[in-house]
Amino acid sequence: MSCLMVERCGEILFENPDQNVKCVCMLGDVRLRGQTGVPAERRGSYPFIDFRLLNNTTHSGEIGTKKKVKRLLSFQRYFHASRLLRGIIPQAPLHLLDEDYLGQARHMLSKVGMWDFDIFLFDRLTNGNSLVTLLCHLFNTHGLIHHFKLDMVTLHRFLVMVQEDYHSQNPYHNAVHAADVTQAMHCYLKEPKLASFLTPLDIMLGLLAAAAHDVDHPGVNQPFLIKTNHHLANLYQNMSVLENHHWRSTIGMLRESRLLAHLPKEMT
């Protein structure tokens, strides 16, 4: 692989001998670009670093449809229809990050209690996994993992389920918005006049509620769902349609993941 310096500031172009793969490294942003014609996708309201390898000759026999192209070239689902309705459990792992990005993300987490926390930058540094990364950190910071004896694998699986159930094509009600609200909830929970009155259960419920408050949001409001005779409007009889759907979806994921199954019944 040869390296070619380009005039544009901050850009280095690498060319593969087969001329089908090109890597472009931008300052603070890394993308792998190819010539398959697959359009760039968005995660939430901010583009995520997706490290795609686009080589349409090496795997030409494997790529037959647009669906196969997406499955092959991406580490993670593109569009998030309801996991509960489709019966699909998200299994996409967290992306591996460059050490520079990991270091910057860790530095940002040291200031997670500040009201000016930049959730969009954090989402880039965590490669579009801001909600999962943030919640894992906050559960540890508040001592919830130790207090409730939570299994880390189960916790991570549940958090991925929540993050994946947000629709990435929504310009606002997406996983980045959920991470933003969760970070704000953490700031509220740390307020001196409030913190002394909170139990570990209060803190855990507050963080979970913030993280899942808009889960599986369809991107439209209740009047639209009612006027279009949407199945959710019919299911909840046109009353608090989205709110009912959000909390019931969350309860469904909690039960499915069995995150809190070991706790006493009176607590859950």
Q: Residues forming the annotated binding site?
A: 177, 213-214
* 146 classed as catalytic: no
Spatial contact of 250 and 260, defined as CB atoms under 8 Å apart: no
Which one has a higher pLDDT value, 18 or 117?
117
Residue range 194-243, pLDDT digits in tens: 999 999 999 999 999 999 999 999 999 999 999 999 999 999 999 999 99
- pLDDT higher than threshold 90 for residue 183: yes
Name the range with the highest mean pLDDT among 20-24, 125-129, 184-188: 184-188
Q: Average pLDDT, stretch 170-186? A: 98
Give pLDDT, residue 16: 44
- pLDDT higher than threshold 50 for residue 5: no
Give pLDDT, residue 130: 97
Residue range 45-79, pLDDT digits in tens: 333 333 333 333 334 444 444 444 333 333 333 33
Q: What is the pTM for the complete model shown?
A: 0.65
Give pLDDT, residue 266: 82
What are the start-end ranges of the H helices in the chain? 66-73, 83-86, 99-109, 119-125, 130-141, 144-147, 152-164, 175-189, 192-195, 200-212, 222-227, 231-235, 241-257
Give pLDDT, residue 64: 44
Q: CA-CA distances (angstroms) from residue 243 to 135, 209, 217, 247?
A: 22, 12, 9, 6
Domains in the chain with CATH codes: 2-74 (no CATH), 99-257 (1.10.1300.10)
Residue type, 6: V
- pLDDT higher than threshold 60 for residue 28: no
First to last CA, the chain: 56
Q: Average pLDDT, stretch 84-109? A: 61
Sign of torsion, CA 131 133 139 145? positive
Give pLDDT, residue 239: 97
Which one has a higher pLDDT value, 29 or 130?
130
Residue range 111-165, pLDDT digits in tens: 999 999 999 999 999 999 999 999 999 999 999 999 999 999 999 999 999 999 9
Q: Residues forming the annotated binding site for Zn(2+)?
A: 177, 213-214
Q: Average pLDDT, stretch 241-248? A: 98
pLDDT band of 265, cuts 50, 70, 90? confident
Catalytic residue among 142, 156, 167, 173: 173
